[in-house]
Amino acid sequence: MVSLGKKFGSMFIFVFIFSGLFFVGSCMAPVNMPLIPSAAPEVSVVVNTDHFWNSPIYTTNPYTGETTLVARGYWIPSGTIDITIKNRPVIPYTDKNGNYINVYYSVFWTIQHLSYGNTPMRTVYQSDSDYTVISLIYGSGLPHTDIWTQTEGAVWKFRVQAVIGYFGGGVFEGEGSEWVEFTVTIPKSDNPGSSSAPNTPNPSGPSVSVSYNVPQQPLRNSLP
């Protein structure tokens, strides 16, 4: 009886795992890539900065009046990355299963040395105008931050794909275009000009221009 119980338990675990894999696979429908996919999206990027200065901390000796630096001040990254995509001509429709079919854009991003995940970080149906703008907030102000970073000069890489299909509830279906890839360097407050690093677009896709909007930064504390 003990042996039978063990066999039954093992079988139950196997069936549970197998059914779980089937369930996940059925929900995560892949985006099909035709043999000759459409061209990658035409993309331009503007990085807006609103970094703020975290003041240094000092202590004063009550007997000598001497001031000692306890913690240095530093800039904390904050701003937006605005991705502008040229829309594609398409007439949206509803298919026989009730799915709304239109062009949508899948956006992946990650820090430069890591690999992309399997699920898009942002999916947006194209707008009714000539361009779709996807604005991502970067910084360390959770939970409203899309790209969490505490370091100026950090390099993030992006992939953008146009898909004719639909998405929702963890399901992404449709026919995908080629990818366009590019990198964005979080600007440095001391030297914003050094942030315009060259981009790395998909060789078969269009070039991507990245510009920086760096407003006047507040004056630093005059103490060292």
- What pLDDT digit, counting tens, does each position of 32-88 carry? 888 999 999 999 999 998 888 888 899 999 999 999 999 988 888 999 999 999 999
Segments of the chain with pLDDT less than 70? 1-29, 190-207, 214-224
Confidence (pLDDT) at 23: 32
The C-alpha atoms of residue 123 and residue 82 are separated, in whole angstroms, by 14
Confidence (pLDDT) at 54: 84
Q: Is residue 68 part of a domain?
A: yes
Q: Is residue 195 part of a domain?
A: yes
Mean pLDDT rounded to a whole number for the chain: 78
Q: Is residue 16 part of a domain?
A: no
Confidence (pLDDT) at 42: 94
Q: Is residue 120 part of a domain?
A: yes
Q: Is residue 8 part of a domain?
A: no
Q: Is residue 99 part of a domain?
A: yes
- Residue from 128, 186, 177 nearest 156 by CA: 186
pTM: 0.72
Tell me the residue range of the domain where 132 lies.
43-213
Q: Is 62 exposed, middle or buried (0-12, 13-18, 19+ CB in 10 A)?
A: exposed
Q: Is residue 173 part of a domain?
A: yes
Q: Is residue 204 part of a domain?
A: yes
Residues 155, 181: contact at Cβ < 8 Å? Answer: no
Work out how many domains the chain is built from and give that number. Answer: 1
